[in-house]
Amino acid sequence: MDVATLVGLFGALGVIITSIFIGGSVGTFINVPSLVVVVGGTAMVTLTQVTLAQFIGSFKVGLGAFFYKTTKPEELIEEAVELADTARKEGILALESREIADPFLNTGIGMCIDGHPTEVVQKMLSKDINLTLERQNTGIKTFKAAGDAAPAMGMIGTLIGLVQMLSNMEDPKSIGPAMAVALLTTLYGAVIANAVALPIAEKLRGISASERLNKLLVLESIAAIQDGTNPRVLQQLLTTYLPENRREALVKNGK
Amino acid sequence: MDVATLVGLFGALGVIITSIFIGGSVGTFINVPSLVVVVGGTAMVTLTQVTLAQFIGSFKVGLGAFFYKTTKPEELIEEAVELADTARKEGILALESREIADPFLNTGIGMCIDGHPTEVVQKMLSKDINLTLERQNTGIKTFKAAGDAAPAMGMIGTLIGLVQMLSNMEDPKSIGPAMAVALLTTLYGAVIANAVALPIAEKLRGISASERLNKLLVLESIAAIQDGTNPRVLQQLLTTYLPENRREALVKNGK
Amino acid sequence: MDVATLVGLFGALGVIITSIFIGGSVGTFINVPSLVVVVGGTAMVTLTQVTLAQFIGSFKVGLGAFFYKTTKPEELIEEAVELADTARKEGILALESREIADPFLNTGIGMCIDGHPTEVVQKMLSKDINLTLERQNTGIKTFKAAGDAAPAMGMIGTLIGLVQMLSNMEDPKSIGPAMAVALLTTLYGAVIANAVALPIAEKLRGISASERLNKLLVLESIAAIQDGTNPRVLQQLLTTYLPENRREALVKNGK
Amino acid sequence: MDVATLVGLFGALGVIITSIFIGGSVGTFINVPSLVVVVGGTAMVTLTQVTLAQFIGSFKVGLGAFFYKTTKPEELIEEAVELADTARKEGILALESREIADPFLNTGIGMCIDGHPTEVVQKMLSKDINLTLERQNTGIKTFKAAGDAAPAMGMIGTLIGLVQMLSNMEDPKSIGPAMAVALLTTLYGAVIANAVALPIAEKLRGISASERLNKLLVLESIAAIQDGTNPRVLQQLLTTYLPENRREALVKNGK
Amino acid sequence: MDVATLVGLFGALGVIITSIFIGGSVGTFINVPSLVVVVGGTAMVTLTQVTLAQFIGSFKVGLGAFFYKTTKPEELIEEAVELADTARKEGILALESREIADPFLNTGIGMCIDGHPTEVVQKMLSKDINLTLERQNTGIKTFKAAGDAAPAMGMIGTLIGLVQMLSNMEDPKSIGPAMAVALLTTLYGAVIANAVALPIAEKLRGISASERLNKLLVLESIAAIQDGTNPRVLQQLLTTYLPENRREALVKNGK
């Protein structure tokens, strides 16, 4: 579990709420109709753009941003090098009884054992990567859409409030509070977009990118295992997937 | 029919209208000249950018966003596997009497039966996909253009109202209501763009993308059928088009 | 001639002017110095970005947006199929005496008659398409530049007006009208950009795209004619350039 | 020398200054500290993003936008066709004594005379084009960075002025002039960005694009000369680099 | 060390602080809660989008923008030409005892000495370049995210301040100072984004681009060394990596 996203999200909301508490008069900041316009409106506008399944699924995808567990490339490299070692010594069929932690590596090795030629395995796995990326894109786009809709709904709410205030200015004392309420929807929209929806969309994009890199690493490993590449050469090849300061550690542990 | 877009569109407008009703004074929000400036201006600006045929056609395309029926990839896969099975057992000409639900699959199979070689079929179907995408793009661009024009026309309307108000401020009591009216066009523009035109454009883009994916699935199926691929291998190949949680179901039903 | 652009442009300006007339006090909206700042400034800023020839040429290109006559792909297809028919029956040299309506098709057929091999013809015509696109891009960019400059010059004019008004507020009665004048430049800039320059730029982009499609159709036709393709196969190939609802008509007429 | 950029730049500034003079009170618009914040701040923010050499170099590059002399493609075509003629009649070594006006053409012909094979010459010249483009990009990016920084520094200056004014409002008469001064930085930033930095950046991009086109023309000419292509065919090939209305003239003069 | 970034960053902040001092009342500009909202909020929103390791690492990456030492391409060219010379005269194994200053060149030469064939060396080094670029991208994106979050948090802070002020306007004298405080967060956000975060992001992008160019130069050198290219030809080839005005110097020194 990646704690950064959780800390960041609640930290940002915490900072905003604290700053409201410091100014006193917390009640001013809670206005149910304003909240309904912005949250409801944002949800509806987002729903227009996707299918019902995608809309509901995006909540699950959003949770994934918090509880996603990245496989470290080091673990993948170690596992791939071991498999290459076994395959080289005992043949590729010896991998059948092996338990493989990474599901994508597992699928790929399964294909090799089934006897598909290298190009077929590579083509099918590549397509799997591309189509997975396209599917993950849907989740990212849903949060991005919500992040675009929220400030727009906030502005619409503020415009409604301003029009109501301006067309009824008999009591000068009510102008200030009426404008305060009108501004609330803009505030809600800005918070939802900038502290919640857009950062989660960006986080999902980051997860999608690092998953893609892991899958490319697996793709390369499987090609090497099928070609009977020397495990040491494979390890050297795969370390390029690591930043320079983490390469050393692997070489020390790996030998 | 995809209910999400319909619910989303009317839900968003409903939320906005409700929020106006809660504030009372609904009449303030209806101003025919303002409506004419924004709606008429947006329509005219959009018309400038397209041809008359595209402009009229975009209404039909827009309706498509609500009443579009996506073919589930599962159904396409099932149909393709069955066709591959028949073609393998009885030859490709046996498909002539088959009724094929998907029109693109039907066209492709028709070409195979006419005896065109694989590369020709693939080339013609690929070009069909690309040109269809380009045509769908026109509809998307029309709604995008309307979504860009509406806030601009809203701002122009508000500027006109402000100039009129500012150059004639003899009666201080009229300033408030005059400004309220001036802001109305901005409100109209924001609603048209953010709750109607841009979400529909985005929805059309989503439909276009999922249609493209289905057509790529068909393209791949036809290549496999013409090559006499084993139906089981084809099924395995096509399941990559499904998200992981829907692959299992297909395998269970399909066998 | 495509009437949509003409109607759209004058319609948009008409809607704006009508809305000014409805509010009365039309004279308030005409301010020659403001007009000079925005129109002159926009022209100058645009001129900075291009060469003199491109600047002057862009007026001609802009007119083209109104008076451009698109060749219908149906006509091109018909002409290409006829040529293919003649070429197949009487040899490619029989095309020498034919009058060909489309100039690009004419150039291409001319090259075939001159005896250039297929790859050379294709390469030269492809390059012609790409370079034409690049040149059309210049016109689009000039109008886009004007559309970006106009609101900026409008804002600059308004800032100048505001600074003058704020530094000289002795007569409170003059504040309103002074601010009205200051806002005029923003209004002018918004109208020039959103109702004129940007829609024309977008229209030119659309024309460029449909011209490119027509030229690709010609490119494909010429390759087929040189290869001696069956005219019927060529017609089937070229119908993919049409949207589905226009394919039927062609097939009926064409045979 | 391309007069458009010079006229455009001074014209835009002239229009703005004239509009200030018309309003009288020119002194109000000159405020040295405001000027220092915007100009100094913009320079510093731009400096942060580049190296010292690039920063200083960008002034020279900026001057290039005014005094750049484009080689007309017609001249290049004529020169290339003459060279091709000589090379065909007397062999490529006969070009050694020729003086070649265009330096890039000169370098390329030099390589041919040195006896490098066609692919090597093409590869080296292509790389030269790409790397030149990448270097020109740096100049463009510096002006773009200044154009992005100027409005931001303008806004920062205005915010500083507003905070100072708002926290010290004892004398109501000083509010107007104080706000006028505060707005000056926004005005300065808008002028620097929209009338100077961004148009120059765009102009440099245009120069870079037309230079690239000329170099591609040379690249193609050299390949043709090395292959011993017929000069007439080469001329026909190179005319595609010209817009249609300039092709005729060349054909008339060239023959 | 590249002094421009350091001077630019402190210069920009200096200009802003000076402009505050000139206006007097420096104390008005320091407000701890406002600072906490903007700085804390920006940090939290950025943290949401990355992993903890990336967040902490970005500080180190940010420092790199100031203390990064670019290897001059001239030095790389000289070293590569010397290596090519030795390799040609004494064989590639003679390079084993050479000390090579550039680590990437060193890695590449090491692979050559290990006897890997040219394509393998090129493929591994290319992948190293691509993956390094992808990793550097993470640092750039973190600063970009902070630069996007800061103005948003500034706006949220100002909205909170405005709502508090508007809902409590009993003492008219407090309105000015309260609004001044409210605007402070917008000011902080604008300074953090435009004078710190975004310029550093842009600087990192520039460093990444020039490092990539250097690595491509090394890639090409190693291919030439392995192929036994003439050192003079290699030098001529590599000078295309230099701007024209620096090529002469190299030729003079290099010979």
Please report residues of D whose CB lies closer than 8 A to that of E16: 37, 41, 156, 160
Q: Which of A29-33, C116-120, C250-254 has the lowest mean pLDDT?
A: C250-254
Q: How confident is the model at residue B151 (pLDDT cuts 50, 70, 90)?
A: very high
Coil, strand, or helix at residue E244? helix
Q: Is B26 within 8 Å of chain A by CB?
A: no
What's the pLDDT tens digit per position in D146-197? Answer: 999 999 999 999 999 999 999 887 887 888 888 999 999 999 999 999 999 9
Contact C43, C147 (CB under 8 A): no
Q: Exposed/middle/buried for D10, CB within 10 Å: 0-12, 13-18, 19+?
A: middle
Of C7, C14, C18, the CB nearest to B47: C7
Residue with tokens 């510096």: D142
pLDDT by residue (tens digit) across C184-218?
Answer: 999 999 999 999 999 999 999 999 988 999 999 99
For residue B196, give the nearest of A158, A48, A189, A155 by alpha carbon.
A48
Residue identified by tokens 């003459």 is D82
Which residue, B125, B88, B126, is CA-closest to B110? B125
CB contact under 8 A, A183 and E37: no
CB contact at 8 A, B186 and B157: yes
CA atoms of A60 and A71, how far apart (whole Å): 20
For position E144, what pLDDT does the model report?
A: 96
Please report how many Cα atoms fall inside a 13 Å half-sphere around the Cα of residue C160, on the Cβ side: 28
CA angle E9, E15, E16 (to 5 degrees): 95
For A213, the token pair is 């890199």
Interface check for C253 against chain B (CB to CB < 8 A): the answer is no
B window 111-150, beta carbon within 8 A of A: none
At position D4, the amino acid (one-letter code) is: A
Nearest CA in chain B to A32: B19
Q: Kindly identify which residue of chain D lies nearest to residue E23, measuring between CA atoms.
A: D164
Identify which of C24, C186, C199 has the shortest CB distance to residue B49: C199
Question: Do residues B170 and C205 touch, judged by C-beta distance below 8 A?
Answer: no
Element (H, E) at C182: helix C175-191
Contact between chain C and chain D (3 or more Cβ pairs less than 8 Å apart): yes
**Looking up tokens 């057992």, which residue turns up?**
B89
pLDDT tens digits, one per residue of D20-79: 998 877 888 999 999 999 999 999 999 999 988 889 888 888 888 888 777 888 899 999
Q: What is the ipTM of this complex?
A: 0.88
Chain A CB contacts of B179 under 8 Å are 166
Is residue B142 within 8 Å of B50, Cβ to Cβ?
A: yes
Phi/psi at A32 (5° precision): -60, -50
Q: Give the span between the Cα atoms of D203 and D190, in whole angstroms.
A: 18
Q: pLDDT grade, residue B135 (50/70/90)?
A: confident
Task: For residue E160, give the nearest of A19, A70, A237 by CB distance.
Answer: A19
> Both tokens of residue A182?
């009108």
Contacts of A37 in chain B (CB under 8 A): 15-16, 19
Query: By the 8 A CB rule, do B45 and B145 touch?
Result: yes
Residues in B touching A128 (Cβ below 8 Å): 240
- pLDDT bracket for residue C97 (50, 70, 90): confident
Please give the pLDDT value at position A31.
93
Interface contact C48-D8, CB threshold 8 A: yes
Contacts of E37 in chain A (CB under 8 A): 15-16, 19
Specify the residue for token string 């065919």: D233
CA D71 to chain centre: 14
Task: For residue E167, give the nearest of A11, A180, A237 by CB distance.
Answer: A180
Contact B49 C206 (CB under 8 A): yes
Chain E from 51 to 80: CB within 8 A of any A CB = 51-52, 54-55
pLDDT, position C167: 87
For chain C, which chains pass the contact test of at least 3 CB pairs under 8 Å? B, D
What is the CA angle A51-A55-A57, rounded to 5?
115
- Asked if E162 and E175 touch (Cβ cutoff 8 Å), the reply is no
CA–CA distance, D193 with D206 (Å, rounded to integer): 18
Alpha helix (H) residue ranges in chain C: 3-22, 32-35, 41-49, 52-67, 73-90, 103-113, 118-166, 175-191, 198-227, 231-239, 244-254
D194 contacts chain C (CB < 8 A): yes
Q: pLDDT class for A253, splitting at 50, 70, 90?
A: low
pLDDT in tens, D68-120: 777 888 899 999 999 999 998 888 888 888 888 888 999 899 989 988 888 88
Please tell me the distance from the alpha carbon of residue B128 to that of residue B134, in angstroms, as a whole number.
Answer: 10
CA–CA gap between residue E77 and residue E105 (Å, rounded):
11
pLDDT at residue C240, rounded to an integer: 83
CA C121 to centroid of chain Cα atoms: 28
Each residue's pLDDT tens digit, D193-204: 999 999 999 999
User: Residue B254 pLDDT > 70, yes or no?
Assistant: no
Could you give the 3-state DSSP secondary structure of residue E240?
A: helix
Q: What tens digit of pLDDT does each residue of E24-80 get?
A: 778 889 999 999 999 999 999 999 999 888 899 888 888 888 887 778 888 999 999
- Predicted local confidence at residue E254, as pLDDT: 46
- Tens of pLDDT, residue by residue over B33-87, are 999 999 999 999 999 999 888 898 888 888 888 887 778 888 899 999 999 999 9
Contact: E45, A12; criterion CB under 8 Å: yes
Residue A72, Cα to own-chain centre: how many angstroms?
A: 16
Test mutation, B45, B170, B188, chain C, max C CBs within 10 A = B45
Structural contact between residues C95 and C87, judged by C-beta atoms closer than 8 angstroms: yes
pLDDT over 70 at B250, yes or no: no
E49/A9 CB distance under 8 A? no
Q: Please give the share of chain E, as a percent, with pLDDT higher than 90.
A: 49
CB within 8 Å: E46 and A191: no
Under a CB-based contact definition with an 8 Å cutoff, are residues A180 and A27 in contact?
no
Establish if B2 touches chain A: CB-CB under 8 angstroms: yes
Q: How many CB atoms are closer than 10 A to CB B92? A: 17
Higher pLDDT, B247 or B205: B205
- Confidence band, pLDDT 50/70/90 cuts, at residue C253: low
Interface test with E, best of A233, A240, A246 (most E CBs within 10 A): A240
Low-confidence ranges of chain E (pLDDT < 70): 1, 249-255
Between chain B and chain C, the number of residue pairs with CB atoms below 8 A apart is: 127
* Integer-rounded Cα radius of gyration of chain A: 26
State how far the Cα of E151 lies from the Cα of C44, in Å rounded to an integer: 33
Question: Contact B236/B131 with Cβ under 8 angstroms?
Answer: no
Give me chain C's average pLDDT, please.
Answer: 89
pLDDT, residue E250, reads 66
Q: How confident is the model at residue B255 (pLDDT cuts 50, 70, 90)?
A: very low
State the Cα–Cα distance between residues E37 and A187, nearest whole angstrom.
14
Q: Report whether pLDDT(C161) > 60.
A: yes
Other residues' Cβ atoms within 10 Å of the Cβ of residue B53: 11
Q: Taking 50 as the threshold, does the pLDDT of residue D255 lie above it? A: no
Q: What local confidence, expressed as pLDDT, does residue D252 receive? A: 57
In chain E, which ranges are continuous DSSP H helix? 3-22, 32-35, 41-49, 52-67, 73-90, 103-113, 118-166, 175-191, 198-226, 231-238, 244-254
Shortest CA distance from E104: residue in chain A: A244
E181 close to A (CB below 8 A): no
**Are E41 and E156 a contacting pair, CB within 8 Å?**
yes
Please report the pLDDT score of residue A250 as a whole number.
66
Round to whole Å and give the CA distance between E200 and E206. 10
- Give the separation between CA E112 and CA E222, rounded to whole angstroms: 8
Min Cα distance B22 → chain A (Å) is 8
Quick check: A229 contacting E, CB < 8 Å? no
